[in-house]
Amino acid sequence: MLKKPVENILVRQIEREAYSSNLYLSMASWAETNGFGGVSEWMYAQAEEEKIHLLKFMKYVNERGGKAVIPSVEQPPADFADVQELFERTLEHEQYVTESISEIVGVCLEEKDFTTHNWIQWFVTEQIEEEASVRNIIDKLKLLQGQNLYLFDRDVAGMRGTVPGSQQ
């Protein structure tokens, strides 16, 4: 049975995962309508992954005796200056989600909910990978200095979840 503070913070995370999915859908649409098919494909895949995360939180809350609430979601931005800004905002958002996951860990420890603490560790690891993946893309964009974006766009879809030196 979930303690109320743990249930509340998990339900809050459901809203954040829904927003994340919508944000990446918005970014995918921007990329698609600006000729960046590879970036769009990457963002659509990210949006789908966030939806899966949302469902994991919902199922966990419900299975542990809580009640997952489906939130209304704030509309994400729809316009971006360029691909560099798109990925910089992606990194900022992933850092925000990492902080949110860390807050959940803190509440679990305060409430001595070691079952949820154990369960949330998958998301802790996931966020490390997400941030590293986006940083890798931003590093590649910096190397390009706005040049050869055609090749970058062609290759970016295959860069999802890849981090140099990782064991993937």
Please state the residue numbers annotated as binding site for Fe cation: 17, 50, 53, 94, 127
Q: How far apart are CA 116 and CA 109, in angstroms?
A: 9
CA 88 to chain centre: 13
- Residue 157, number of CB atoms within 10 A of its CB: 16
* Cβ proximity of 61 and 68 under 8 Å: yes
Binding residues: 17, 50, 53, 94, 127
Contact criterion met (CB below 8 Å) for 85 and 39: no
Nearest to 57 by CA among 13, 117, 8: 13
Question: For residue 122, what are the contacts with CB-CB under 8 A and spacing of at least 6?
Answer: none
126's tokens = 């996931």
